[in-house]
Amino acid sequence: MQNVRVETKDGFLTLTFTGEISIHNLQSIIDFTKKLDFESYTGKTIFDFKDLTSVDTASAIYINKLLKKYDIKLKAPNKQIVKMLELTKENSDKSFEYKPDKLDFLQKTGLYTYKKFAFVISVLNFLGELFVRKVKLLNIKNFRTKELLYEINQTGLKALGIIALTSFLVGIVIAYQAAVQLKIYGANIFIVDMIGISVLREMAPMITAIVIAGRSGSSFTAEIGAMKITDELDAMRSMGFDPYYFMIIPKILALIIVLPILIFIADMFGILGGAIISKTELDLSFMFFIDRFNEVIAFKHFFIGIFKGPFFAFLIAVIAIYRGLNVKDDTQSIGKNTTKSVVESIFAVIVCDALFSVVFTNLGI
């Protein structure tokens, strides 16, 4: 190699560096040194810098890493180079990542694959730790009733208004659009069937989950992210309070408890909206609507909608909390992870709902 000469003599490996080492030629030196068998010459390797003119920070960090790892001896008469190595010595334990100016297709593919693999490992690690903590909840002393009730109030009771209003408006929209078409064929009474099944099975659970993902999910991410930036989570651990028991698990359990209740509220207001439009547009009385509803809508439709609640709640809470714990040490990261939290939660809910639809259809439910 142009900047490095290699000699082996009397059982010693000597690398003589010439010219300068900088970020521009560092990658070629990294590739070259990776091919050398330093482990066979541990304690018997010499870096000779007598002909080296300059070293930049990135190169000094990499050299320090090699010096420490393989117990390499150094010959460096140039005081400026020695000062640079000493200055960067404390950072030599940090991982060194070289990023060239331009990546080819293969490099981009490899980097993308590595990032996705690391993401999957990170998620599995989080879920594993969460599962272990939940198992430990069997010990009653780890259960935080006060925190659970607080989160139920925050995620459930305070969300009743927006859930009721949203579902009511969705019920009105569905009924109004259906009424226009049903009038044409004189099939006015079938609006009850459509409103009942669509609201109970699909619309109420989906609308509730999406609203909660935007309301409570984003709140979870922002709250935990802010606490991480301000070192409040570390402060809790230093005082003997486990954040999983005091913050994370209560949020998950609270959402699992309240989401079926919120879906029930959404069912009632969605059907109420449909009943009002049935009265105003199709001249179906409320009593007729209720009688027809009891006659044609099976209880299984209501049960399926409620059954989806805990699954949606778990997905929303876990994704939101995971994103909160991944916030970096800057406020911009809170915004990015909050956005990812909401988008990923809604996507996960839609995928989960699609899977339920396929399963229930195949089971004939």
Query: Same structural domain for residues 205 and 239?
Result: yes
Query: Same structural domain for residues 181 and 315?
Result: yes
Query: Same structural domain for residues 111 and 65?
Result: no
Query: Same structural domain for residues 121 and 231?
Result: no
In a domain, residue 229? The reply is yes
In a domain, residue 236? The reply is yes
Give the pLDDT confidence score for residue 91 in this predicted structure: 56
Question: Residue 18 maps to which CATH number?
Answer: 3.30.750.24
In a domain, residue 316? The reply is yes
Query: Same structural domain for residues 119 and 157?
Result: no
Query: Same structural domain for residues 76 and 174?
Result: no
Query: Same structural domain for residues 229 and 275?
Result: yes
How much of the chain exceeds pLDDT 90, in percent?
Answer: 37
Q: Structural domain of residue 129, as residue ranges? A: 102-135
Query: Same structural domain for residues 45 and 172?
Result: no
Confidence of residue 347 (pLDDT cuts 50, 70, 90): very high
DSSP H helices in 239-330 = 243, 249-282, 286-296, 299-325
Boundary residue ending a domain (68, 91, 114): 91
Distance CA 347, CA 323 (A): 15
In a domain, residue 96? The reply is no
Query: Same structural domain for residues 147 and 111?
Result: no
Distance CA 151, CA 142 (A): 16
Distance CA 172, CA 179 (A): 10
Q: How many C-alpha atoms does 75 have within 13 Å on its Cβ side?
A: 12
Bridge partners of 15, per DSSP, are 6, 47
Query: Same structural domain for residues 301 and 344?
Result: yes
Number of domains forming the structure of the chain: 3
Give 265-298 pLDDT, tens digit per residue.
999 999 999 999 999 888 888 999 999 999 989 9
The angle at the Cα of 185, spanning 181 to 189, to the nearest 5 degrees, equals: 80
Query: Same structural domain for residues 86 and 229?
Result: no
Q: What is the mean pLDDT of the chain?
A: 86
Distance CA 174, CA 172 (A): 6
Boundary residue ending a domain (91, 126, 153): 91
pTM of the model: 0.68
C-alpha distances out from residue 138 to 142, 241, 248, 362, Å: 8, 18, 16, 36
Give 127-159 pLDDT, tens digit per residue.
888 888 776 666 666 678 888 899 999 888 899
In a domain, residue 323? The reply is yes
Give the pLDDT confidence score for residue 210 in this predicted structure: 95
Give 57-99 pLDDT, tens digit per residue.
888 888 888 888 778 888 888 888 888 888 877 655 555 455 5
In a domain, residue 196? The reply is yes
Distance CA 21, CA 1 (A): 13
Query: Same structural domain for residues 109 and 159?
Result: no
Give 263-274 pLDDT, tens digit per residue.
999 999 999 999
In a domain, residue 97? The reply is no
